[in-house]
Amino acid sequence: MFKSLLLLLALWLGVASQAAQAQTLSPLGIWTNADKKATYEIYKCGDKLCGKLVTLAVPNDPATGKPKLDAKNPEPKLQTRPLLGLV
């Protein structure tokens, strides 16, 4: 009887640890925003997480035909950077 209980406990602990591992979520990977107009890659950079804009539904400015820029950046020097590839 004792051996059966011990075996059952060991089995239960094994299943519980596998379930805990299966539920581990990770932010790493490719993500799409809610309106599906942009895709971002989240990756490790050192001991931190970084994100990079990898696709845009409309990558070029319709008025100019050129790549969209970081025009809304409050720092004027950075407003001429292309949005695609922005980290």
State how far Cα 5 lies from the chain centre.
43
57 Cβ neighbours under 8 A, 6+ residues apart: 36, 37, 38
Prediction pTM value = 0.66
Here the tokens at position 41 are 């890659």
Please state the domain extents for the chain: 26-78
Considering just the CA atoms, what is the radius of gyration of the chain in Å? 23
Query: pLDDT tens digits, the chain, 87 residues: what are they?
Result: 545 544 455 556 565 556 556 678 999 999 999 999 999 999 999 999 999 999 999 999 999 999 999 999 999 999 999 999 999
Exposure letters 23-40 (e unless 16+ CB within 10 A, then b): eeeeeeeeeeeeeeebeb
